[in-house]
Amino acid sequence: MTAVAAATSVWTAQADTAGGRQPQARVSAPDARPQDQVAKVAADIAHASDRGARGVNITIDDGPDPVWTPRVLQLLKDNGVKATFCMVGTQAQAHPDLVKEVVAAGHRLCDHAVSHDTAMDTKSEAYQSQQILDAERMITKASGGVRPQYYRAPGGAFTPYSRQLAASRGMRPLGWNVDSKDFERPGVDTMVATVKREISDGPTVLFHDAGGDRSQTVAALREVLPWLKQQGYSFGFPVR
């Protein structure tokens, strides 16, 4: 309960800045799909010491995708890295075999809502509940019964209600500390430099395995994962 309360207080502060994200996200979006471009989130910083300051949590959002998820899975396997996959409900429903592959490889699941509505925080509680709980069911069914352990609001559009609802289902609200900005496809070198520069900000790093051409993400992970290992970081899961 203490951990939940601490996370909730951090997220409350985050919610105050959420209004700035959407114009920025839509201007730079390479396609019509919403993206996760929120100011950095401190949700995990308070817990970083639990795992040692050199821990990294890789999070992969918006899939599963039949083209990109297998490539990301292979890279994670090659580097011995376990990650957390924040899945969109409709994607999980469409690609249950990929959800099962993710689970079988030892990665964790995260509920990323049914339809990736980044304006969820402006909608009714009934709508938020449907988005979160339906996605939880879709992901759990697709995985063959393995439940998501986290909830990440699309675009970081959390509300106090959605955090509480997720927590009541045993899903820890999950933010991020480092945004690779891979959704904007800024170039592999830029993405790698961003992660290297900002990794000291906190352990949880955001990447995407869906929502468009993710070849830059794959290339960046190929560089970043060995680099993190060389720097002495260990890979883990966000602390519950």
Active-site annotation holds for 61: yes
Choosing from 36, 44, 61, 182, which is the catalytic residue? 61
Q: Is 156 in contact with 10 (CB distance < 8 Å)?
A: no
Q: What is the CA radius of gyration of the chain?
A: 16
Minimum CB separation of residue 156 from Zn ion in Å reads 9
Choosing from 47, 107, 116, 208, which is the catalytic residue? 208
- What is the identity of the amino acid at 233? Y
Q: Which of 213, 157, 163 is nearest to 18 (CA)?
A: 157
CA distance readout (Å), 228 to 63, 216, 221, 231: 24, 18, 10, 5
Positions in the binding site for Zn ion (CB under 5 A):
36, 61-62
CA angle, 161 then 164 then 169, to 5°? 125
Q: Is 218 in contact with 180 (CB distance < 8 Å)?
A: no
Beta bridge partners of 108: 84
CB-wise, 3 or 115, nearer to Zn ion? 115
CB-wise, 61 or 182, nearer to Zn ion? 61
Minimum CB separation of residue 157 from Zn ion in Å reads 10
CB-wise, 62 or 179, nearer to Zn ion? 62
Minimum CB separation of residue 154 from Zn ion in Å reads 5
CB-wise, 47 or 152, nearer to Zn ion? 152
- Any alpha helices (H) in 63-122, and if so which ranges? 68-78, 89-94, 96-104
Instruction: Say how far apart CA 137 and CA 15 lie, in whole Å.
Output: 26
As annotated, the active-site residues are 61, 208
